Structure 1
Amino acid sequence: MDRKLNSGNVIDALSDLFILRGILSFIRHDNGPEFVAEAVQDWIRAVSAKTAYIEPGSPWQNGYCESSNARFPDEFLNGEIFYSLREAQILIEE
């Protein structure tokens, strides 16, 4: 959770997840700038993972994520008032 994610944020998050759960065979992603960045693609290759790209305009290729993105505002964000970005980050992570 942040105002904007960049390739460094993505690499940090993926590194933490890989440490906790092991290296994934595939990382499914869309064409967002943080995922198509050369640094992220280089890092994914370096850890021997592969990408499973979601074509633009094809949300059915990742239904779980799209469903979560659609429900999240209604189930959490619309019912909470956040007084700072840090407060939102802590509550969302919980």
Structure 2
Amino acid sequence: MPWCPNCGIEYTDNYKECPRCHMDLTNEPWETDIELEKAYEEANRNRKRIIRFASLTIALIFTIFVLFNIALFLNILQLIFYQNHGNWLQIKK
């Protein structure tokens, strides 16, 4: 769609001149639009990297937490079931 380089307003295709400032309309994008688009893409890429890193970190912490709880549970079971079944870990002299 054509837009006015002076006002920045977009018009429909039937306009050739800006009714406000009487400048010729153009169909080419602003240089700042291209720069803004590149900056947005870079920021979006960085945002995705941060989210991916945070997700992996949370997954790793959760995995360690689950493994620790499993080990703790197994240790508690071992203490409960083998406590009264002899001294199987002690060395006799």
TM-score class normalised by the smaller sequence: under 0.3
Answer 1 or 2: which has greater strand percent. Answer: 1
**Whose Rg is larger?**
2
Answer 1 or 2: which has greater helix percent. Answer: 1
The TM-score, its normalising length taken from structure 1, stands at: 0.27
The TM-score, its normalising length taken from structure 2, stands at: 0.27
Structure number with higher relative contact order (C-alpha < 8 Å, ≥ 6 residues apart): 1
